Amino acid sequence: MTDPVERNTSHSRSTLGVVAICFNEAADLPGFLESVTGWADEIVLIDDGSTDETATLARAAGATVKFLESPRAEGEFFSDQRNKGIAAASSDWLLHMDIDERVTPAFKAEVDRAIQSSGYDAYRFRRLNFFLHRPMRGGGWQSWNQVHLARRSVLRFSGMYHEQCEVDAAPGRVGQLKQRMWHLNDDGYLERMRKSDLYCQEEAHDLERRGVSVHWWHMLLLPIREFLRTWVWRLGFRDGVPGLLFAAHAATAKFRACALLWDRQNTRSRASLEDRAKHDETSESP
């Protein structure tokens, strides 16, 4: 932390809860639970309707784990799921995590000291992000520094798929942790591709909200800009081949977002083609 931790003068110990949202996390959940069980006073999991063994694993994990099945309703996003976790928790402080994140002993020790402070209401911390099981030093991975540790009453989330933090605390009441949380991310590039489908939809929605009418130059120039921004300006080249793979992936994801919105803005119905096929007597291309 940038400042020494100021100890709480009261005799009561501040409690810590871990809140995470989950969906079909059977592969990652055991490691997540092992990482935080016995350290956190409570673990709150908001499930988005898992169809694998996630529920079974969570319910067998012990009394400190609160598992709530709450699939998103129409118009709800990941931020709404995180806020449900806040509402279901009872600890003084909450640490917001993903199921593929892990807390190291050094991170735990710093959090333990930090939450006993009377000088702060929330803390930012950085993540050590892994891509294809390799720690990433560039490409934008190094820039994440969010308030995901806070007193239960001061933090809420907003936004769609990439949640934004809304902190009800003065800037001087937000501290900075030194230790990093490990973010293991995808188990392979195939998983990254599957997740990307969701993120591309978010990007298309964002372009639409900004009033962008997609033309051919968007589908050409925006991916090129994204590649240069990730590979050059955000120092993706520092990570070698994994950095190149991620920069190319980011560029193709931008292209697919533009393609999704172009299709939405220039859609043609299948019914109109069916009707045309019944009456078109020419052999020429339309």
260 is a domain residue: yes
Residue 232's domain comprises 189-266
Say if residue 176 is in the same domain as residue 220.
Answer: no
- Together in a domain, 205 and 179: no
Would the pLDDT of 10 be above 50?
no
Q: The whole model's pTM is what?
A: 0.82
Same-domain pairing of 79 and 171: yes
Task: Indicate whether 163 pLDDT > 80.
Answer: yes
Least confident of 58-62, 115-119, 176-180: 115-119
20 and 71 housed in the same domain = yes
Q: When comparing pLDDT for 117 and 151, which is higher?
A: 151
Q: Which one of 126, 157, 183 terminates a domain?
A: 183
Does the pLDDT value for residue 3 go beyond 90? no
pLDDT of residue 8: 44
The answer to whether position 243 is within a domain reads yes
CA dihedral 130, 136, 138, 144 (to 10 degrees): 40
| Average pLDDT along the chain | 91
Judgement on whether residues 36 and 175 belong to the same structural domain of the protein: yes
Residue 5 domain flag: no
For the chain, give the longest Cα–Cα distance: 88
Between 113 and 2, name the one with better pLDDT: 113
Average pLDDT on 247-259 reads 95
Mean pLDDT for 243-270 is 94
Task: State which of 142, 166, 183 marks the end of a domain.
Answer: 183
Q: What is the pLDDT of residue 5?
A: 41
Q: What is the mean pLDDT of residues 277-283?
A: 77
Residues 128 and 256 grouped into a single domain: no
Mean pLDDT over residues 40-59, rounded?
Answer: 96
What confidence score (pLDDT) does residue 178 get? 97
Residue-by-residue DSSP string for the chain: --SPPPBPSSSSPPPEEEEEEESS-TTTHHHHHHHHTTTSSEEEEEES---SSHHHHHHTS-TTEEEEE-PPPTT--HHHHHHHHHHH--SSEEEEE-TTEE--HHHHHHHHHHTTBSS-SEEEEEEEEEETTEE--STTGGG-EEEEEEETTTEEEESSSS-EEEE-S-GGGEEEEEEEEEE---SSHHHHHHHHHHHHHHHHHHHHHTT----HHHHHHHHHHHHHIIIIIT-GGGGHHHHHHHHHHHHHHHHHHHHHHHHHHT---HHHHHHHHHH----S--
| Same domain assignment for residues 179 and 195 | no
Average pLDDT for 123-151: 95
Indicate whether 109 belongs to any domain: yes
pLDDT interval class at 286 (50, 70, 90): low
167 and 36 fall within a common domain: yes
Shared-domain flag, residues 39 and 145: yes
pLDDT score for 210: 87
For residue range 59-74, what is the model confidence (pLDDT) as tens digits? 999 999 999 999 898 8
Q: Are residues 237 and 103 in the same domain?
A: no
Over residues 31-51, the mean pLDDT reads 96
- How many folded domains does the chain comprise? 2
Average of pLDDT values for 247-256?
95
Please tell me the least confidently modeled range out of 13-22, 105-114, 185-194, 225-234: 185-194
